Structure 1
Amino acid sequence: MTALNDALIASRIAEQRKAARALLSYPLLRSSGRHRDLFVLVAKYQQELREWFDRETGWRLTTTSEAARLSKLTTVADPTYPATEVSGSRLPFGRRRYVLTCLALAVLERCDQQITLGRLAEQVMLGAADPELAATGITFTMERRDERSDMVAVVRLLLEIGVLDRVAGEEQAFVNTSGDVLYDVRRRTLSMLSTSTRGPSMLTDAIDRCAALTYETPPATDDLRNRRIRHRLTRVLLDEPVLYYDQLAEDELAYLTGQRTAICRRITEFTGLIAEVRAEGIAMVDPFDDLTDVRMPEIGTDGHVTLLIAERLSGSIGSPVAVADLYAMVRELAEEFTRQRVWRADATAPGAETALVTTALHKLTALRLVRHTPGTDWVTPLPAIARYGVGEPTVTEPGATKTTPTRKRR
């Protein structure tokens, strides 16, 4: 009986951990579709999950018959987490698509249970005609094909996250002005999208509405201050590839110094992530390598270029490196690797090195391996990139943990 009880306890812990990892990977889980089994698991352990996330992170878990939503308050404003096209090239959304998304959600909030794509686009067009919005330079008239394509990209994103369900028709027909599409509107899922601590309708007088949406009342006691610090640190460890000590406030660093072991142990027990502690900071490493939306190393030309640039930058940690030097390096290597058919043929085209380096720096920035602002001439390697430096070969024991930094989906 003891062995049986141990097996049942181990099975329950494994299931609960799988449910926690599911919420970190997919903060909005639908009860239907490809993640249905994960939703069932989250629903089964919703009480334990809700208590842990509330206690350790301050994130709110909401479950209904349609979906489970982990309302993750982000630690920083991060441009490396853009909305992207659901299919095809996965290009990130531009400014107009973000505006159309917000307008579409506003329309769906007050529409009937069903709506056509044409009707949704018409209502969005009316919203875009608001003088205050038009003054920002945003226009949407549905007269051009690219505008209709933007609208379709928004709708496909809403289909992916479960706000809409397609009933009949195909979006490409709308782009070609040859047909329309009918959708069911999932209001309960729509109501779960916002992760703000305050309702948007309450912010009419706010100067910085984005900051006001996630504003948290300052703690009034030492216990509440420590709780807030614990929330902040755990959020970073769960959501970011690396927590660097030099990016913490004095009180946060002091708290982490005394509570590091306890915080990391609780995260490991709950999620299976393993703490890798270095002199500069902490990375919660995923031994299963499925909790990240940005992988490195990666196959293909872009992945190889990224790895080579990381190797080059690993020798200059803390010292800015000219982006022009990286262009020159990639341009030189392109001849050799395309000749060997390691890189794709267009890597030697004039200007190809610019796109390759830009893609690599975007990935390295997302993984917190470098600090770089798009369009600037310098990139600063951060300490965690040292793992990609070339050193003496070592023998890895069987079953050793992979130590690639990961970040979690939002």
Structure 2
Amino acid sequence: MSRQRTYTAEITKAHVALLERGVILSKQVDLFRLVNRHYYTLQNWHDQNTGWRIQRGATAIRLVRQLSAITPGYVYDRLREPRDFACLTWILWYAENRQLTGRGNEQQFLLSQFAEQIQEQSLSDVDNETGFDFRRPADRYSIQRALQYLEDLGGVQLVDGQTKEWLEQAVDADVLYEFTDVIRSLVSAFNPQLLAVVAAHLNNEGKTLQPTLLQHILADRFPVMAIKPLVRAWRALLLGPILLRYDDPEAFAELVVHADEVANELLESFGWLLDVNRDYACIVRASGMS
């Protein structure tokens, strides 16, 4: 009985760690070993409920999460402004553009050269007001926050220099960064074509108040996005903060039908509670925070 409780507690801890951490690095020894030990059980759970894949390698493990709808989610501590997220996207584009085939110095880049290339690319298809101009302090801080976010994930590491000096435009200030193996996992989930289609939809002001299911937006261009309603409900709940009936009526209706089953699975796997109301559903965690 004690062994079963230990096993259940380990599975719960591994589930929560995968969901709450963008990447689990090998230097986080205990968590890394825990998730590796229960990998097949964890992956089987996601195969049945979310369709997400657990990507694991020698240095990192990551739950590759996929959206089913373009609804607002949590704001990260490091990324708060729209241009912060834009910078993050450009960094992933930059990493992909280098094809990630090198080692050592080939994975290193100077912040000044990197910023120059992003600025040039961002101005190629838009007006000067929406493109990046890293002479503006706000844009410099956006790229700094995006890089810090990736550094926290383990995707890049600082090799030489002081980012603060570059931000303040000190004379001859520059910073040398290096992509790590973790960036490969992030880039593998980066789909520029999908991003372009969704961005075009979001920029169409006539559709901003419409439900935002990806499979409706993408139609037949990305057939993989045809996800079952209950799977969409699981994804929305786990990504948070809530599943709105308005955003996905079909998934919400399916959740209501299977509410007891989902609630039991959620409690058993994560130790969390399910709260279903007339127009929304959300997860209530042990701390009382949804």
Same fold at TM > 0.5:
yes
Q: Identify if the C-alpha distance between structure 1 residues 243 and 142 changes in structure 2 by more than 3 Å, giving closer, same or farther.
A: closer
The CA deviation at 1:164 is 0.5
Residue pair 2:92, 2:186 contacting (<8 A) in 1 also: no
State how 1:165-176 maps to structure 2 within 5 Å: 165-176=157-168
- TM-score in terms of structure 1 length: 0.55
Report the equivalent of 2:240.
240
Alignment coverage as a number of residue pairs: 266
- The two structures, once aligned, show a CA RMSD in angstroms of 3.4
The CA deviation at 1:268 is 1.3
Per-residue CA shift, 1:232-263, capped at 9, x if unaligned? 2222333335556676535752x445432222
Per-residue CA shift, 1:95-116, capped at 9, x if unaligned? 3x33333222222234421112
Per-residue CA shift, 1:371-401, capped at 9, x if unaligned? xxxxxxxxxxxxxxxxxxxxxxxxxxxxxxx
* 1:128 and 2:122 aligned: yes
Residue pair 2:54, 2:63 contacting (<8 A) in 1 also: yes
Aligned-partner Cα distance in 2 for 1:183–1:114: 6
Q: Identify if the C-alpha distance between structure 1 residues 240 and 103 changes in structure 2 by more than 3 Å, giving closer, same or farther.
A: closer
Residue pair 2:151, 2:157 contacting (<8 A) in 1 also: yes
* 1:156 and 2:125 aligned: no
The CA deviation at 1:156 is 1.4
Q: Which amino acid aligns with 2:52?
A: W
The CA deviation at 1:217 is 4.4
Residue pair 1:62, 1:68 contacting (<8 A) in 2 also: yes
* 1:13 and 2:1 aligned: no
Aligned-partner Cα distance in 1 for 2:137–2:273: 49
Partner residue of 2:183 out of 170, 178, 190: 190
Aligned-partner Cα distance in 2 for 1:102–1:283: 28
Aligned-partner Cα distance in 2 for 1:55–1:233: 13
Aligned-partner Cα distance in 1 for 2:231–2:65: 11
Partner residue of 2:82 out of 94, 106, 112: 94
Report the equivalent of 1:54.
47
Aligned-partner Cα distance in 2 for 1:215–1:72: 16
Aligned-partner Cα distance in 1 for 2:276–2:131: 49
Report the equivalent of 2:23.
28
Aligned-partner Cα distance in 1 for 2:86–2:238: 29
Report the equivalent of 2:101.
none
The CA deviation at 1:205 is 8.4
Q: Identify if the C-alpha distance between structure 1 residues 154 and 141 changes in structure 2 by more than 3 Å, giving closer, same or farther.
A: same
Q: Which amino acid aligns with 1:60?
A: R
Per-residue CA shift, 1:136-157, capped at 9, x if unaligned? 7323343344433333222212
**SS at 1:61's partner residue?**
strand
State how 1:332-343 maps to structure 2 within 5 Å: none
Report the equivalent of 1:104.
91
The CA deviation at 1:17 is 0.7
Partner residue of 2:174 out of 175, 180, 190: 180
**SS at 1:14's partner residue?**
helix
Aligned-partner Cα distance in 2 for 1:119–1:251: 46
Aligned-partner Cα distance in 1 for 2:145–2:195: 29
Higher RCO, 1 vs 2 (CA within 8 Å, ≥6 residues apart): 2
- TM-score in terms of structure 2 length: 0.75
Higher radius of gyration, 1 or 2? 1
Q: List alignment gaps of at least 5 residues for structure 2.
A: 99-105, 203-213
Q: Which amino acid aligns with 1:108?
A: A
State how 1:240-389 maps to structure 2 within 5 Å: 240-243=240-243, 249=249, 253=253, 255-276=254-275, 282-287=281-286, 289=287
Aligned-partner Cα distance in 1 for 2:122–2:8: 50
Residue pair 2:232, 2:251 contacting (<8 A) in 1 also: no
Q: Which amino acid aligns with 2:131?
A: T
Q: Identify if the C-alpha distance between structure 1 residues 199 and 258 changes in structure 2 by more than 3 Å, giving closer, same or farther.
A: same
Q: Which amino acid aligns with 2:264?
A: R
